[in-house]
């Protein structure tokens, strides 16, 4: 729609939504803020179910006029029962329907992670990041001023959305009253799907920064932390963690128990994983019982170590990795398997990746699934192998420590829903 054009980019253009002959489900409003009420009123009359208002110039201005204008559009929305996303949003993406109604990048990678952001510029930039890192999204919603639709509403949608497995939120805070409902909805949501949140404004100074950014009440962080725990929300401190953990939860299978085993070709990588596993509260099972040690001993030279970390040594080839990972998957006392790899001349990273994938597939063919994460250290070819593993539904990371953190997110959710006992 545009009052002045007959055609835009080869598509027929109407003067008003009221002129459109068909039904309209969803409208994107990008007109100067003072005209938004007029367009919204027309959408209401037309029976449009939901709109997204990209226009800014509302409450975020901090002026009485801005606040007044925002109140007005809320009233119009209620009158006609039109749900509003925004205003002051950069848009919305829903990959199952091939919708990208945002002014962010176009080539969003399809997947099953929904990303909700309360921050505009950071959200757009993170869209670019998901493309770079090949992080598959089902949806992306920039909330803007949240005059109507908020996180709680979106969680209710994503809870029943078959294309979404995990929800991530960059959250800064809530308007008065909004928080209580969010945590009520989140508590139900997390029993169905994992929810990972970065809460901006954790620190006292960050709280002040939030106040001058989105104007939300950041609130005492101790209270947030407690309520996050009670609601089964997985809290990430940093934005890269949020996405790395979402990859784990969107791609990976559930653990078969709490106990974690790490298989490596480098002792140092095993040590780093062990330390990080302890940092993140994983139940790292060491030393392994004698019978499991014997099982692993088959795949290593005499100077290897089967205690856990299971050190296949730098001599490990495809057979050693595939064999050890397969046996770890088939052993019912092991809950999750971390596979670590240091790029050495003897084993190409892509061969390593294929060995892991083969082991996972062989176990699956015998009816066994459990969570597997990979931490692979190396250069450009190792990065390619990490992406290849992700495309094959195995969460893979550039360091053992990140693999441990991601695995802990899987275990946290599994405990919350009772798949794994404490």
Per CB under 8 A, which of residues 346..365 are in contact with its own copies? none
Pick the binder of its own copies from 295, 342, 353, 374 (CB under 8 A).
342
Write down the least CB distance from residue 156 to its own copies, Å: 24
CA 175 from chain centre, in angstroms, equals 24
Q: Does 143 bind its own copies (CB under 8 A)?
A: no
Write down the least CB distance from residue 319 to its own copies, Å: 18
Write down the least CB distance from residue 85 to its own copies, Å: 18
Angle at 139 between CA 135 and CA 140, to 5 degrees: 85
Q: Are 349 and 343 in contact (CB under 8 A)?
A: yes
Residues in the chain: 422
Q: Does 226 bind its own copies (CB under 8 A)?
A: no
SS3 390: helix
Helices 64-80/36-46 angle, 10° precision: 10
Tokens representing residue 173 in the block: 């805070």
Q: Which stretch binds its own copies (CB under 8 A): 22-30, 32-40, 280-288, 387-395?
A: 280-288
Pick the binder of its own copies from 175, 398, 417, 419 (CB under 8 A).
398
Q: CA-to-CA distance for 151 and 141, rounded, in angstroms?
A: 10
Q: Which stretch binds its own copies (CB under 8 A): 71-79, 352-360, 363-371, 375-383?
A: 375-383
Write down the least CB distance from residue 233 to its own copies, Å: 17
Neighbours of 180 (CB within 10 A): 12
List the interface residues with its own copies, window 41-60 (CB under 8 A): 60
Q: Does 399 bind its own copies (CB under 8 A)?
A: yes
Q: Does 301 bind its own copies (CB under 8 A)?
A: no
Q: Does 177 bind its own copies (CB under 8 A)?
A: no
Q: CA-to-CA distance for 230 and 417, rounded, in angstroms?
A: 12
Judged by beta carbon, residue 253 or residue 305, the one nearer its own copies is: 305
DSSP 169-199: EEE--B-TTHHHHHHHHHHHHTTTS-EEEEE
Q: Does 237 bind its own copies (CB under 8 A)?
A: yes
Q: Does 212 bind its own copies (CB under 8 A)?
A: yes
Q: Which residues contact residue 146 at a Cβ distance below 8 angstroms, ignoring those fewer than 6 apart?
A: 118, 175, 178
List the interface residues with its own copies, window 99-138 (CB under 8 A): 103, 105, 117-129, 131-132
Q: Which residues of 56-67 are buried (b: 16+ CB within 10 A; e: fewer)?
A: bbbbbeeeeebe
List the interface residues with its own copies, window 77-96 (CB under 8 A): none
Angle at 291 between CA 259 and CA 303, to 5 degrees: 95
Pick the binder of its own copies from 44, 86, 201, 323 (CB under 8 A).
201
Q: Does 195 bind its own copies (CB under 8 A)?
A: no
Judged by beta carbon, residue 291 or residue 303, the one nearer its own copies is: 303
DSSP 80-94: HT-EEE-SS--EEEE
List the interface residues with its own copies, window 9-48 (CB under 8 A): none
Q: How many residues bind its own copies (CB under 8 A)?
A: 79
SS3 47: coil
Write down the least CB distance from residue 82 to its own copies, Å: 27
Judged by beta carbon, residue 58 or residue 416, the one nearer its own copies is: 58
Q: Does 181 bind its own copies (CB under 8 A)?
A: no
Write down the least CB distance from residue 215 to its own copies, Å: 10
Q: Are 128 and 105 in contact (CB under 8 A)?
A: yes
Q: Does 205 bind its own copies (CB under 8 A)?
A: yes
Q: CA-to-CA distance for 244 and 246, rounded, in angstroms?
A: 5
Judged by beta carbon, residue 219 or residue 362, the one nearer its own copies is: 219
Judged by beta carbon, residue 178 or residue 275, the one nearer its own copies is: 275
């Amino acid at each position: 729609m545009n009052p002045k054009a007959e055609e835009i980019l080869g598509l027929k253009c109407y003067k008003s939504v009221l002129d459109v002959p068909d039904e309209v489900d969803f409208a994107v409003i990008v007109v100067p803020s003072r005209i938004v009420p007029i367009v919204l009123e027309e959408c209401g009359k037309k029976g449009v179910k939901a709109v997204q208002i990209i226009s800014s110039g509302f409450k975020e201005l901090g002026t009485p006029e801005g606040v007044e204008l925002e109140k007005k559009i809320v009233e119009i929305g209620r009158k006609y029962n039109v749900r509003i996303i925004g205003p002051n949003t950069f848009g919305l993406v829903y990959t199952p329907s091939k919708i990208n109604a945002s002014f962010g990048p176009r080539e969003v990678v399809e997947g099953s992670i929904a990303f909700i952001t309360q921050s505009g510029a950071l959200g757009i930039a993170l869209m670019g990041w998901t493309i770079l890192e090949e992080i598959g999204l089902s949806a992306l919603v920039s909330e803007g001023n949240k005059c109507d639709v908020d996180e709680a509403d979106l969680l209710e949608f994503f809870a029943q959305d078959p294309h979404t497995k995990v929800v991530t939120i960059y959250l800064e805070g809530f308007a008065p009253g909004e928080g209580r409902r969010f945590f009520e909805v989140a508590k139900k949501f997390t029993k169905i799907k994992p929810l990972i949140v970065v809460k901006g404004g954790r620190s006292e100074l960050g709280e002040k920064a939030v106040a001058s950014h989105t104007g939300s009440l950041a609130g005492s962080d101790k209270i947030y932390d407690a309520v996050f725990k009670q609601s089964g929300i997985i809290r990430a401190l940093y934005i890269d963690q949020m996405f790395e953990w979402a990859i784990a939860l969107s791609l990976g299978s559930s653990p078969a128990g709490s106990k974690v085993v790490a298989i490596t070709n480098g002792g140092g990588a095993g040590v780093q994983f062990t330390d990080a596993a302890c940092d993140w509260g994983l139940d790292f099972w060491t030393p392994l019982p004698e019978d499991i040690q014997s099982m692993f001993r088959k795949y290593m030279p005499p100077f290897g170590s089967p205690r856990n970390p299971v050190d296949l040594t730098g001599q490990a080839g495809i057979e050693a990795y595939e064999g050890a990972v397969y046996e770890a998957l088939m052993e019912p006392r092991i809950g999750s398997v971390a596979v670590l790899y240091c790029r050495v001349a003897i084993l190409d990273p892509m061969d390593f990746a294929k060995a892991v994938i083969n082991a996972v597939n062989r176990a699956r063919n015998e009816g066994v699934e459990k969570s597997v994460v990979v931490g692979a250290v190396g250069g450009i070819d190792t990065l390619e192998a990490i992406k290849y593993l992700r495309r094959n539904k195995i969460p893979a990371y550039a360091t053992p420590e990140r693999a441990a953190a991601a695995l802990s997110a899987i275990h946290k959710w599994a405990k919350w829903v009772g798949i794994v006992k404490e």
